[in-house]
Amino acid sequence: MSTMTDTHAHDHDHHDHKPAGITRWLYTTNHKDIGSMYLWFSFIMFLVGGAMAMVIRAELYQPGLQIVDPNFFNQMTTVHGLVMVFGAVMPAFVGLANWMVPMMIGAPDMALPRMNNWSFWILPFAFAILISSLFMEGGGPNFGWTFYAPLSTTYSNDTTALFVFSVHIMGISSIMGAINVIVTIFNLRAPGMTFMKMPLFVWTWLITAFLLIAVMPVLAGTVTMVLTDKYFGTSFFDAAGGGDPVMFQHIFWFFGHPEVYIMILPAFGIVSAIIPTFARKPLFGYSSMVYATASIALLSFIVWAHHMFTTGMPLASELFFMYATMLISVPTGVKVFNWVATMWKGAMTFETPMLFAIAFVVLFTIGGLSGLMLAITPVDFQYHDTYFVVAHFHYVLVSGAIFSIMAGCYYWLPKWTGHMYDEKLGKTHFWCSLISVNVLFFPMHFVGLAGMPRRIPDYSLQFADFNQIISIGGFAFGLSQLIFLAVVIKCVKGGEKAPAKPWEGAEGLEWEVPSPAPYHTFSTPPEVK
Amino acid sequence: MKLTRSTGWAIPALLATGNVMATEMPLNMTQGVTDISQRTYDLHMTIFYICCVIAVVVFGMMFISILLHRKSRGVTPATFHESTTIEVIWTAIPFLILIGMAIPATAVLTEVEDNSNADVTVLVTGSQWKWHYKYHDYDLEYYSVLATPRAQYENYNGMFNGNSEIPQEKGENYLLEVDRPLVIPAGKKVKFLMTSDDVIHSWWVPEFAIKQDANPGFINEAWTKVDKPGIYRGKCTELCGKDHGFMPVVVIVKEQAEFDAWMNEQVAIAAKAKAEEQKLLSMQMDMSELMALGEKTYLASCAACHQPNGEGLQGVFPGLKGSPVALGDMRKHIDTVVNGVSGTAMQAYGKQLGLKELAAVITYERNAWGNNTGDAVQAKDVNAVMKGQ
């Protein structure tokens, strides 16, 4: 991006009109307040979903059923997945978008601030409904986060309606968030901020928002069909009434595959902001990064059935979905090569955001390579529904998406709070997370190849040693995240005063406003040259 | 709450079971025992090695950069940030690598999907939580159920489900053993037709490289040809409800002559059992005999859902203790067990259990856990309901 000049000093902060106390947060239409609420909410959900993962890992610590019964175990795997996908990763990215997109494009706020307020405030209710169902008679959803019919229809427990309702609310929230991002980016860019000058985080979020609008209604349709099949006598997924249970999987994964890119494209944007900053060198191949992101998004619509190779598809479909899936590694590879080329011949320093960003590139690539292995249909017959798959998607989601969110938080914390975070504590958090996340997920590759299916509460004896190691890694990773909480709280409360641009190599409009960013920024749009 | 209450039990249990860790786990995919499984393994290794090379190149460049191009070495950053040539090169090379991967993958896949010209056909039906095998070319069908006793895997020390049994030492084939394995002949192309009675299951034997979903209302195909006789073990791999982790697959491969002998014997046993059933109709079993057999049958077939103590799981599986079905009209009770309840997880046991077992288990349900109806159900009562009399 070109250099940007800011003609005005934005010193409107002493004119802030915000109500005090709880009403400030309830009624707020300010993108920074809403962004903070999204981020705190997603962190709470991260801990809640993490606690469920701890229950899973405790039960799997040794063979035999020790702690929970299989029915509750299934509820834990299901709700862990739902909470992490819809409660932790997605809202965290929306929170980052709320904070950063207006500041990056020189807009005073999101384009639709009241809708912004609403799209956040319905989320806590959605998760209250979902999580409360765990305490009701019959327990919470126990059919996996993918809720395959007829396990989720004819054979599910009585609280399925609550699950459906909560997913609807999450979907509405996501769609409203996506509309807001698109309208903001299309209409509120500062003069001179052309599309091809936008930071990549803005670009990746714009594409993500289109994916959200395309597929969240599909998810809504799926859960509605589950609802009517279970309670109103329809037979969408019941062969006895002319339906087809495999059709459920087609519809679900038509949502589900773009959904996984929804959870990774903004991560690409964050890493593309951080690596150039700490390499002190502009991003290599900016326009190819934009095109690669768009290609990944388009391809995501024609690969869904690679989740379903064992459902009995005809050979021609299996070949089509195998080839299409393999193709995705081309634009994804381009991104990784561009990041490495950005580092090449730079002058790197390794503050916490950079450490997380580098770990992201390495570990996401490992997840991408195991994804390529999974794309090969005949071999997928052996990998499918084993721990190899669990290892794959946790590499891209935890050490991918979540590491990028951590990186983004460390990167922008000085801008949000006005204080530098504790670098030593941040690095401790990084190294603890990096080691434990690999102790947690790397052995899962071996366990899966050796034949351990996923979603089982108990296993045969040869898997015992590895599961013990995995569980220890899991507990360590869970505890490491409390360090992050400590860093954030410490940084919010005080610390070294942060300058407007705390990172030597940083570029972009967000660094032209003071730290902490005043309540209102860019009330007068800056001029971008 | 569940976690904290029981960790106190888990720790001593861990020490006690320390010696079960003896079994070695292979670190890689099995090469299996069929041509397909070997080719699948070879393909897996090829792709894996290619991925390793890519990883070494990419991470190598990155770590060189991290070592050399750091500010602490006093370097000045370069300013280059664009090169169409380089972008084209690193788009084209991966594309060519992918074509190299796709060719062998297509060849193996085409062969895997060739279900024609089978010598033997077996219909595999999944249900919660057991497998049913029916030979198309012989008059033989049976259920295959987990053989590991509950006392080996329920280690709650009586905290849940009212199970107060002392945990047993876990056996060698813990959770990988069944009462009646599937038996197939060696050296023959065996075709499996997969379907399900309730939810989706998936039948997997790693050594054959077969994993095929069993979808209710639809039939899927898979095949194998195993040359080496032996016992091969696998599992259900599609989440199918509470006891998904407890429905293993065991296949015994026998030489043709041995297979034929086994088959003749099994067909004879099945025919004899059918004849015995007729005799049962005029037989009167006494209460203690019914209750003993009933308890055994109940624990094997009913306790997974209704629980050993008859209390069920609240909101998921109804309890039988004091329930209107178990205390009410006997014919209604027999009908429920024999024909199941459509639209629920209650299966039809008429085809799964013999008349004697059905009579016994219904008697047990009507008299256990304080359900003291005093009813003794006989084989002929069950038969009457089955025949619609």
* Chain B residue numbers touching A281 (CB-CB < 8 A): 77-79, 81
Whether the ω angle into residue A108 lies within 30 degrees of 0, i.e. cis, is no
Distance CA B366, CA B120 (A): 43
8 Å CB contact of B90 and A150: no
DSSP A451-487: TPBSS-S---GGGHHHHHHHHHHHHHHHHHHHHHHHH
Distance CA A441, CA A443 (A): 6
* Burial per residue of A499-516, b for 16 or more beta-carbon CB atoms within 10 angstroms, e otherwise: eebbbebbbbbbbbbbbb
Q: Based on the number of CB atoms within 10 Å of its own CB, is B350 exposed (0-12), middle (13-18) or buried (19 or more)?
A: middle
Contact with chain B for residue A475, Cβ under 8 A: no
* Chain A residue numbers touching B308 (CB-CB < 8 A): none
Distance CA A387, CA A370 (A): 12
- Three-state SS for A90-136 is HHHHHHHHHHHHHHHHCCCCCCCHHHHHHHHHCHHHHHHHHHHHHHC
**Interfacial B residues in 137-166 facing A (CB < 8 Å):** 152-156, 160-161
Place B380 in a pLDDT band, splitting at 50, 70 and 90: confident
Instruction: Give which of A48, A57, A65 to mutate to test B binding, by max B Cβ within 10 Å.
Output: A65
Distance CA B216, CA B288 (A): 39
8 Å CB contact of B101 and A322: no
Does B273 have pLDDT greater than 90?
no
Among the partner-chain residues A72, A137, A342, the one whose CB lies closest to the CB of B2 is A72
| Cβ-contact B322, B370 below 8 angstroms | yes
Amino acid identity of A172? I
8 Å CB contact of A458 and B153: yes
Residue B154 pairs in a beta bridge with: A65
Does B3 have pLDDT greater than 50?
no
Among the partner-chain residues B10, B20, B314, the one whose CB lies closest to the CB of A464 is B20
Place B345 in a pLDDT band, splitting at 50, 70 and 90: confident
| Cβ-contact A4, A512 below 8 angstroms | yes
Does ipTM come in above 0.85? yes
Residue A386 pairs in a beta bridge with: A453
**Interfacial B residues in 368-387 facing A (CB < 8 Å):** none
Residue with tokens 């019919």: A149
Distance CA A196, CA A38 (A): 28
8 Å CB contact of A463 and B25: yes
Measured in angstroms, the CA of A513 and the nearest CA of chain B are apart by: 26
Measured in angstroms, the CA of B217 and the nearest CA of chain A are apart by: 5
Nearest residue in chain A measured CA to CA from B242: A71
Nearest of A160, A169, A179, A178 to residue A219 by alpha carbon: A169
Q: What are the per-10-residue average pLDDT scores of chain A (529 residues)?
A: 44 61 91 96 97 96 91 96 97 97 96 96 97 92 95 92 96 97 96 95 97 97 96 93 95 96 96 97 96 96 96 95 96 96 96 97 97 96 96 96 97 96 96 97 96 95 95 97 97 94 94 94 90
What is the structure's pLDDT at B153?
A: 87
User: Under 8 Å CB-to-CB from B372, ≥6 apart: which residues?
Assistant: none
Task: Please report the number of interchain residue pairs, chain A to chain B, with beta-carbon separation below 8 angstroms.
Answer: 341
What's the full length of chain B, in residues?
389
**Interfacial A residues in 104-163 facing B (CB < 8 Å):** 136-139, 142-144, 148, 150-151, 154-155, 157-159
8 Å CB contact of A150 and B198: yes
* Chain A residue numbers touching B202 (CB-CB < 8 A): 310, 385
The pTM of this model reads 0.91
Contact with chain B for residue A316, Cβ under 8 A: no
What is the structure's pLDDT at B97?
A: 94
Q: Kindly list the catalytic residues of A.
A: 80, 109, 145, 173-174, 257, 259, 261, 272, 306-307, 332, 335, 454
* Chain B residue numbers touching A384 (CB-CB < 8 A): 211, 237
Residue with tokens 């019959």: A138
* Chain B residue numbers touching A318 (CB-CB < 8 A): 109, 113
CA atoms within a 13 Å half-sphere pointing along the CA-CB vector of B288: 0
Average pLDDT over residues B295-320: 87
8 Å CB contact of A464 and B21: yes
Which of B104-118, B159-173, B234-248, B316-330 has the least mean pLDDT?
Answer: B159-173
* Chain B residue numbers touching A322 (CB-CB < 8 A): 102, 105-106, 109
Instruction: Give which of A155, A249, A277, A296 to mutate to test B binding, by max B Cβ within 10 Å.
Output: A155
Angle at A317 between CA A314 and CA A321, to 5 degrees: 140
8 Å CB contact of B69 and A345: yes
Distance CA A403, CA A263 (A): 12
B35-64 tens-digit pLDDT: 999 999 999 999 999 999 999 999 999 999
* Chain B residue numbers touching A315 (CB-CB < 8 A): 109-110, 113
* Chain A residue numbers touching B313 (CB-CB < 8 A): 71, 138
Residue A4 pairs in a beta bridge with: A528
Nearest residue in chain A measured CA to CA from B57: A337
| Cβ-contact A130, A86 below 8 angstroms | no
Distance CA A351, CA A506 (A): 13
Measured in angstroms, the CA of A288 and the nearest CA of chain B are apart by: 7
Q: What strands, in cross-sheet order, belong to the sheet with B210-214?
A: B182-185, B249-254, B230-236, B201-205, B210-214
Contact with chain B for residue A442, Cβ under 8 A: no
Amino acid identity of B342? S
What is the structure's pLDDT at A12?
A: 46
Place B206 in a pLDDT band, splitting at 50, 70 and 90: very high
Average pLDDT over residues B259-264: 96
What is the structure's pLDDT at A15?
A: 55
**Interfacial A residues in 32-71 facing B (CB < 8 Å):** 54-55, 58, 61-71
SS3 content of chain A, % helix, strand, coil (to 5): 70, 0, 30
B346-369 tens-digit pLDDT: 888 988 888 888 999 999 999 989
Amino acid identity of A365? T
